[in-house]
Structure 1
Amino acid sequence: MLLNNLRAVFVAVWFVASAAQANGELHLYNWGNYINPQILGRFTEESGIKVSLDVYGSNEEMLAKLQAGATGYDLVFPSVHMHDSMAALGLLEKTHINQSEGFKNIDTAFLRAKSDPKGEYCLPYAWGTVGIFYNKSQVSKPIESWADFFAEARSGKKVILLDDMRETLGLALIVNGKSVNSENPDDLKQATDWLLARKSLVSAFSYDSQTLVMSGDVAAAHFFVGALMYAKSDPDNLFYVIPKEGATLYQEDMCMLKSAPNKENAKRFMEFFLRPEIAAMNVVQQMNGTPNREAVKLLPPELRDNPQINPPPEVMARLQIFEDLGRALRQYDRAWTRFRSAD
C-alpha cells in the first residue's frame, strides 16, 4: 500500500514537472520585492508555466541592462515615464491587453503613458507615493513634512535620501513649488542649491534604508509607500507619511518586451493579473495602490481606507508624477552630478 502511494506521489510530481516543461517558461524583470511570491506560485500551479524573477533597483538600471544586450526577459515593470521612454526606443510589444475581458476592471485614469493612451501595449500594474518612513521612537515629534525631516537631521538624528536622481531632485522641486518635470534651468538650479545646503545633514543615499529605520539606527528615510509592509510589524514605532509639501506619485506598468522569447506566456500572465483577486493579493502583501477597481473592493478595510495607500482628494492634488523628459533629461543628469560630486 505504501509503495503504491509513493508511486502515486511520484507520478503526480512528474506530471506537474512535465506540464511546466511542456508549457514553457516566463521570465520577469521587476523592481525588488514588488510582486507577491504567492502570485507567481499560483500562476505556475494553474498554468504549468515556470516563472523566474530577476530584480532591479531603478528604471535606469533596468533600461541600461536591456540596452547593454540583456536578453531572455518577457515582462518588465517600468514607471510611466520609462514606459514612454522604452516605447520611443522601440523596445515594447503591442499586446492588445486592453481587448482582454478583465481590462474592464482597470480605472482608465491610470492610462497615463502618453505613448499608450488606450492600453494597447502595457497593463497599469501598481501605484503609490514616495514619502517619509520614520521610527517614532527616534524622533522628537511626529514627522509631517520635509521641514520636520531635516529638523531631525539638524538635531543630530540620522536621515537617508534615495539614491535616485528623479526622486531626490523631485522632492527639492516640490518643496520649492516647482514641477517635478520642469525644464526651466532656474528651477533645477534652485532645487540643486536647496539640496546642496542640506547635503551635510544626510547620512546616506540609498534604496536600502528600511531595515535601518526599523532597527532605530536611522530616524527617518525618503522611501516608498511599500514601507507599510515593514511598519505593520511594529505599528507603535514605525510610520509612513506623505509630506505636507507634497510628494511624487509613482505608477508601474507591466510591459512585454519586443524581444520576449515567451510572448504567449507573457500575455497569459498579464491576463492572470487582471483578475481582481490576484491584483488584491499583491496589494495585501505590497501595501501599495492598484489600478484594478474591482480589486480595491476586495481589500480589507484597514487597507482600502488607509489614507497613505489611498489618499483623499486633497492629498492627491499635491502629488506629482514623472514624465519622459526626452533631451531635457540631460539637465537633470548635470544637476544630479553637480549635487552628488559636491563635498
Structure 2
Amino acid sequence: MRKIRSALSRALGAALFAGAALMLPAGGAQAQQELNVYNWGDYINPEVLKKFEEQTGIKVNLSVYSSNEEMLAKIRGGATGYDIVFPSVHMHDIMAKLDLLEKTNINQYEGFKNIDPAFLRAKSDPNGEYCLPYAWGSVGIMYNRTLLGKDVTGWRDLLETAKAKGLKISLLDDVREVMGVGLILNGHSVNSTDPEELQQAADTIIAMKPQVAAFTYSNRPMVVSGDVAAGHHFIGAMIDVFAHPQDLGYVIPEEGATMYQEDICVLKTAPNKENAIKFMQFYTQPEIPALNMAQQTNGTANMKARELTPENIKNSEEINPPAETMKRLQIFEDIGDGIRLYDRLWTKIKTAQ
C-alpha cells in the first residue's frame, strides 16, 4: 500500500527499471539457479538482491510493474516465467480467490517469529501460510514548504492554501487512492461500495480539479522542482524530505489517509519454487528488510529489523506513526464487483472540466 501500497513513485520506477529488466529464462537446468522477481518499479533496494545472490548463488532477474492491476493482468494473461510477486493486501486476497498463489508454509520457518502478527492482514491468509509481509506505509501529502509558505496539516488546509496562492497540486493516477481521499473527506470507509457515498466522494474530487495539475505517479519530482506545490504520494517521498528538510515536508492528513502493505507471494506457476521460498526465508533475516528500509524509507513487519534502521528512519513519526495516527489510517480490501462503480466514477472524474 499501499501503495510505498512505493512506497516510492511506482510508475516512475517502472520506467527506470523496465529497460533494464532481464529476459526470463526459457527453462531447463539453468532455470534452477535463477529467480524471477516481479515487483513494483523501484520498490526494492538493489543491494538486497545482490546479497541474496551472494548468499545463495542464485541469479535474480528483476522485472517491474506499476500497479496491482497491471501485474494481475499479466499473470492471468498467461505469463508463466515469474516466481515471486508483491501484491497489496487486497490483491493478495483477489489472487488467492483466483487460485494463483502457492502455499509456501513460510510461517513454519524459524525466521517467521520476527514478523509482527498485526501485519498478517490478508483475509485469505491469516496465518501466513502462503505469503510474507514485505513493506508498508501511509499515503499522504508531500509538499513544497517554500511555495506554500507553511507546513500543511491535511487536505482542506492544503486546498485552501493552494487556492489562495494560485498554486497547483497533483493526485495519484490511481482510482482507489483518489476515491479514498474523497471518501475520507466525507467521513466514509475507503472500502465503501455504497453508490451515494461513492458519488459524494467523486463530487469532492471533481470540486478539487481547478487546483489539480495532473493525476500521476510522478509526484515526487514535480514537488521537488516546484512544478506543483504538493503531491498525493506514498511514504517513500521521505527520501526527498530527508534530502531537502528545509524545503519539503510530508504529512499524514489530519482528516485521515490510506495505508498500503505489500506481501511477498509465490505463484503457482513459478518455475523456480524452491528458489522463491529461499528468497522468502532470506527476507526474514532482520538485516535484510532493514537494508531495504534504509533505501526505501517505508515500514517493515519485521520487528527486529526496526531496531537496525538508521536513526532518522527509526525516529520518524511519518514513517513510524504513533498509535493515535495509526487509528486514522485505512487499508484497502477486496470489494469484488463494487470496483465497477469506482471505474465508472473514475472516468467522470478524469473527464470533468
The alpha-carbon deviation at position 22 of structure 1 amounts to 8.3
1:80 maps to: 89
Letter in 2 for 1:150: L
**2:93–2:124 Cα contact (<8 Å) kept:** yes
* Aligned partner of 1:277 among 267, 284, 287: 287
> How many pairs were matched up?
324
2:115 maps to: 106
Alignment of 1:138-157 (within 5 A): 138-154=147-163, 155-157=165-167
**2:31–2:272 Cα contact (<8 Å) kept:** no
**2:45–2:296 Cα contact (<8 Å) kept:** yes
Unaligned runs of 5+ in 1: 1-19
1:94 maps to: 103
The alpha-carbon deviation at position 23 of structure 1 amounts to 5.5
Instruction: Report the Cα distance in structure 1 between the residues aligned to 2:153 and 2:193, rounded to whole angstroms.
Output: 29
Identity %: 60
2:235 maps to: 225
Paired residue secondary structure (2:293):
helix
The alpha-carbon deviation at position 135 of structure 1 amounts to 1.3
**1:93–1:121 Cα contact (<8 Å) kept:** yes
The alpha-carbon deviation at position 55 of structure 1 amounts to 1.3
Alignment of 1:1-343 (within 5 A): 24-154=33-163, 155-343=165-353
Instruction: Report the Cα distance in structure 2 between the residues aligned to 1:103 and 1:166, rounded to whole angstroms.
Output: 31
2:19 maps to: none
Instruction: Report the Cα distance in structure 1 between the residues aligned to 2:100 and 2:32, rounded to whole angstroms.
Output: 25
Letter in 2 for 1:217: D
Normalised to the residue count of structure 2, the TM-score between the two structures is 0.89
Letter in 2 for 1:200: P
Paired residue secondary structure (2:200):
helix
Paired residue secondary structure (1:232):
helix
**1:153–1:202 Cα contact (<8 Å) kept:** no
Instruction: Report the Cα distance in structure 2 between the residues aligned to 1:90 and 1:100, rounded to whole angstroms.
Output: 23
**1:23–1:47 Cα contact (<8 Å) kept:** no
Could you say what the CA RMSD is over the residues aligned between the two structures, in angstroms?
1.4
Normalised to the residue count of structure 1, the TM-score between the two structures is 0.92
Instruction: Report the Cα distance in structure 1 between the residues aligned to 2:167 and 2:71, rounded to whole angstroms.
Output: 33
**2:111–2:285 Cα contact (<8 Å) kept:** yes
Cα pair distance change 1:202/1:47, threshold 3 Å: same
Instruction: Report the Cα distance in structure 2 between the residues aligned to 1:139 and 1:340, rounded to whole angstroms.
Output: 26
Paired residue secondary structure (2:307):
helix
The alpha-carbon deviation at position 71 of structure 1 amounts to 2.4
Structure with bigger gyration radius: 1
Moved more, 73-82 or 333-342: 333-342
Instruction: Report the Cα distance in structure 2 between the residues aligned to 1:69 and 1:23, rounded to whole angstroms.
Output: 21
Higher relative contact order (CA 8 A, sep 6+): 2
Instruction: Report the Cα distance in structure 2 between the residues aligned to 1:21 and 1:181, rounded to whole angstroms.
Output: 44
In the TM superposition, structure 1's runs of 4+ consecutive aligned residues that sit over 3 Å from their partners are 20-23
Paired residue secondary structure (1:198):
helix
Instruction: Report the Cα distance in structure 2 between the residues aligned to 1:22 and 1:74, rounded to whole angstroms.
Output: 11
Letter in 2 for 1:136: R
The alpha-carbon deviation at position 112 of structure 1 amounts to 0.5
1:12 maps to: none
Unaligned runs of 5+ in 2: 1-28
